[in-house]
């Protein structure tokens, strides 16, 4: 079977390697343009090392991209964690169609930030979906799904790398095998259960310390490692990453620093508190909360927030 792979970063590379291990032929790899910061794209490097034709479209609607894809004459298109909008005309080119990986149990959590919102919403289960994409956003028929637990202390990073990444690669290979055997279903999504959230940007990740501590905690872990949950100290932006949820402190103002510890500082929220362990001050890389206490002059009684 001739496969054209559209993918990004480490997940795309893992899917590429898994496909080749099964003996299927990858006739072309499409990935993102080079990062201007010089960050290495592992999928690109692996494709080049293996001599697989590589394409890095700037504009997927350029007719030249369509022609390049068509000339490969793929039997199947495989989209391995693609955040770009791929024209439906390209997805229809392969003889057997195109399949795509999405890190949620569709139709729940359509959109680019499915992992973030599942945690921010306090959910305890999510999963991966391999589906047949159409012209909508994550709306095509479902081929297969696999469910995973969201543990109470999972972050967006741990949920993806420890669970949704490996099970997603397995699901992709299982789906391709089903297509090869002619047993792959196309199950319509139940639109009555559909949810769609916007991208989880910095503007949507601002901490309100007057909210219940569970909601604050879910926001922080759901935005770790990106984009980070934002608060303010003396009017200056401060992003919070690693943290722990603690029992209710003594009566204090919401957002008040109630304790300075060797491993960070404790901030009051409604019905509980958050032990902050890693932060990112404005214009700085991520640092330990203990280091921030020293450099920012944070003391018990300091207030965070707007």
185 with 232, same domain: the answer is no
Does residue 250 surpass a pLDDT of 80? no
Q: Are 144 and 258 part of one and the same domain?
A: no
Domain-embedded: residue 146: yes
Q: Residues 9, 154: one domain?
A: yes
Q: Note whether residue 147 is domain-resident.
A: yes
List the domain range (segments joined by +) for residue 176.
2-193
Residues 209, 164 share a domain: no
Same domain, 178 and 237: no
Same-domain pairing of 127 and 213:
no
**Token pair for 125:** 């289960």
Q: What is the pLDDT of residues 15-37, one digit of tens each?
A: 999 999 999 999 999 999 999 99
* CATH number of domain containing 25: 3.40.50.170
**Into how many domains does the chain fold?**
2
List the Cα angle 251/253/259 in 5-degree steps. 75
In a domain, 306, yes or no: no
Do 143 and 280 have their domain in common? no
In a shared domain, residues 250 and 288: yes
Of 145, 169, 193, the domain-final residue: 193
Question: Would you call 93 exposed, middle or buried from its count of C-beta atoms within 10 A (0-12, 13-18, 19+)?
Answer: middle
Residue at 51 is within a domain: yes
- Contact status, residue 228 vs residue 241, Cβ threshold 8 Å: yes
**Do residues 209 and 116 share a domain?**
no
Q: Residue 153: phi, psi to the nearest 5?
A: -110, 15
> Using an 8 Å Cβ cutoff, are 215 and 222 in contact?
no
Lowest mean pLDDT, pick from 49-58, 81-90, 225-234, 275-284 = 81-90
Residue 218: per-residue pLDDT: 98
Instruction: Quote the percentage of the chain above a pLDDT of 90.
Output: 95
185 Cβ contact list (under 8 Å, min separation 6): 141, 142, 143, 144
User: Which of 124, 158, 193 lies at the terminal end of a domain, its last residue?
Assistant: 193
Whether 221 is in a domain gets the answer: yes
- Is 233 domain-assigned? yes
Query: Residues 38, 159, 259, 265: what is their CA dihedral angle, to the nearest 10 degrees?
Result: -10
pLDDT at 103 over 90: yes
The answer to whether residue 54 is domain-embedded is yes
Q: What b/e readout covers 204-226, taking b as 16+ CB neighbours within 10 angstroms?
A: bbebbbebebebbbbbbbbbbee
Looking at the structure, do residues 103 and 150 belong to the same domain, yes or no? yes
Per residue in 138-194, pLDDT tens? 999 999 999 999 999 999 999 999 999 999 999 999 999 999 999 999 999 999 999
How far apart CA 151 and CA 221 sit, in angstroms, is 11
Tell me the torsion sign for CA atoms 68, 74, 80, 83: positive
Query: Of 153, 169, 193, which marks where a domain is finished?
Result: 193
Same domain? 220 vs 163: no
Residue 129, strand partner residues: 102, 145
Q: What is the CATH number of the domain that holds 207?
A: 3.10.25.10
Query: What average pLDDT does this structure show over 63-80?
Result: 98
Same domain membership, residue 145 and residue 13:
yes
Question: What pLDDT sits at residue 13?
Answer: 98
Query: Does residue 301 form part of some domain?
Result: no
Number of C-beta neighbours around residue 106 at 10 A = 25
């Amino acid at each position: 079977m001739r496969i054209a792979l559209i993918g990004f970063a480490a997940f795309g590379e893992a899917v590429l390697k898994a496909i080749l291990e099964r003996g299927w032929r990858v006739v072309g790899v499409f990935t993102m343009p080079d990062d201007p910061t010089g960050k290495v794209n592992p999928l690109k490097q692996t494709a080049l090392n293996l001599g697989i034709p590589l394409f890095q479209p700037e504009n997927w609607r350029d007719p030249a991209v369509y022609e390049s894809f068509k000339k490969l004459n793929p039997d199947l298109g495989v989209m391995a964690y693609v955040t770009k909008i791929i024209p439906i005309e390209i997805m229809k080119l392969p003889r057997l169609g195109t399949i795509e990986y999405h890190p949620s149990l569709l139709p729940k959590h359509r959109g680019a930030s499915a992992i973030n919102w599942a945690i921010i919403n306090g959910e305890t289960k999510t999963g991966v979906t391999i589906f047949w994409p159409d012209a909508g956003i994550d709306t095509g028929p479902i081929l297969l799904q696999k469910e995973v637990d969201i543990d109470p202390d999972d972050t967006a990073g741990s949920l993806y790398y420890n669970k949704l990444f490996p099970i997603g690669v397995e699901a992709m290979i299982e789906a391709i095998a089903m297509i090869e055997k002619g047993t792959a279903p196309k199950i319509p999504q139940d639109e009555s259960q559909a949810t769609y959230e916007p991208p989880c940007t910095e503007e949507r990740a601002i901490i309100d310390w007057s909210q219940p501590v569970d909601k604050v905690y879910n926001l922080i872990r759901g935005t770790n490692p990106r984009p980070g949950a934002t608060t303010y100290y003396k009017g200056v932006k401060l992003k919070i990453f690693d943290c722990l949820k603690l029992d209710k402190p003594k009566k204090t103002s919401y957002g008040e620093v109630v304790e300075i510890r060797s491993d960070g500082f404790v901030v009051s929220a409604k019905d509980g508190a958050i032990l902050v362990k890693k932060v990112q001050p404005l214009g700085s890389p991520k640092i330990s909360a203990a280091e921030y206490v020293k450099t920012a002059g944070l003391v018990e009684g300091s207030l965070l927030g707007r």
